Amino acid sequence: MAYQELSLLQFKKKFPNERACRKALKKTRWPSGFVCPKCAHTRAYDRPKRRLLECTGCGYQASLTAGTIFHHTRTPLLKWYWAIYLASQDKGGVSAMRLSKQLELGYKTAWAMLHKIRKAMGQRDSRYTLSGSIEMDDAFFGGTGKGKRGRGATNKTTVMVMTETKGDKAGFIAMQTMKSVSGERVEKVTQKHIEPGQKIRTDGLHAFSVLKKMGHQHDGRPIPGKQAHEELPWVHIAISNAKRFLLGTYHGVSRKYLQDYLNEFCYRFNRRSWEQQMTDRLLTACINANPVTFAELKA
């Protein structure tokens, strides 16, 4: 699909009120007009308060928000749309505090909305796998500076980082938290994020030897510490950018939500060439994401 570029003024014009947002949602769900799933009737009453369409033929009620992140929320769609606009416009992300002030929402509501948007980002990226020439390395996020550093540090979370190399640029990236690095976990994360039979460069850690058994072309020659930035350049750039991102707007994040923030980072990074279309792209991602409840976010 073709994504639109939307300036603030264009966005405001396109979505001036609740009705316009509802209309846009309706168009996404039924691009060629409403058709009742029960009786195939094509006319329906609008039930705006409950965000429903009611078939004039058989009375069947079709939800406008089913299959979107707005499902079962009481927040007006207009505020949702603006939240997506704000989240898409700032490269560094938007904090729940700022969103709650700008959209006149309770902090808890703003927090949950941003997390739902993050889930939509993660779901969107989970549809893609990396291919070609790939760098892969484990990194350590969070915790304080004290204690053991690097592999084996207890207060940090291990994150597997994978980056595509496209000529002299980085392509797509993926990041996945894991308990620790083992052959079994490397195999799982690789299956999830990398196409079969690719070219993968890692350091000499034994756990990576599973990559060859999986059918990848694996270069796992040991890398002396000082050369890591030359041998695995994109992975290291991605790691330092991600750490800066987490510290910037969010002032560091807890282990529990680290994966969600990493998903946000990767989503933004992977679309860095389409900045102008970010709002439209994120809107599409949110409209096509499985809903999550507040309880599920807190679990």
Binding site for Zn ion (CB under 5 A): 36, 38-39, 41, 55, 57-58, 60
Smallest distance from the beta carbon of 22 to Zn ion, in angstroms? Answer: 20
By beta-carbon proximity to Zn ion, the closer residue of 58 and 247 is 58
Smallest distance from the beta carbon of 292 to Zn ion, in angstroms? Answer: 30
Order the strands of the 133-141 sheet from edge to edge.
Answer: 169-178, 157-166, 133-141, 199-201, 217-219
**CB-CB contact of 162 with 175 (8 Å):** yes
Strand partners, 55: 44
Smallest distance from the beta carbon of 59 to Zn ion, in angstroms? Answer: 7
C-alpha of 284 from chain center: 12
Smallest distance from the beta carbon of 33 to Zn ion, in angstroms? Answer: 14
DSSP string, 121-159: HHHHHTT--B-SEEEEEEEEESS-SSS--STT-SSSEEE
By beta-carbon proximity to Zn ion, the closer residue of 55 and 134 is 55
Smallest distance from the beta carbon of 72 to Zn ion, in angstroms? Answer: 23
**CB-CB contact of 144 with 210 (8 Å):** no
By beta-carbon proximity to Zn ion, the closer residue of 34 and 250 is 34
End-to-end CA distance of the chain: 35
Q: Nearest-CA neighbor of 172 among 296, 266, 93, 60? A: 266
By beta-carbon proximity to Zn ion, the closer residue of 56 and 177 is 56
By beta-carbon proximity to Zn ion, the closer residue of 54 and 187 is 54
Smallest distance from the beta carbon of 65 to Zn ion, in angstroms? Answer: 19
By beta-carbon proximity to Zn ion, the closer residue of 59 and 215 is 59
Decide: helix, strand or coil at residue 5: coil
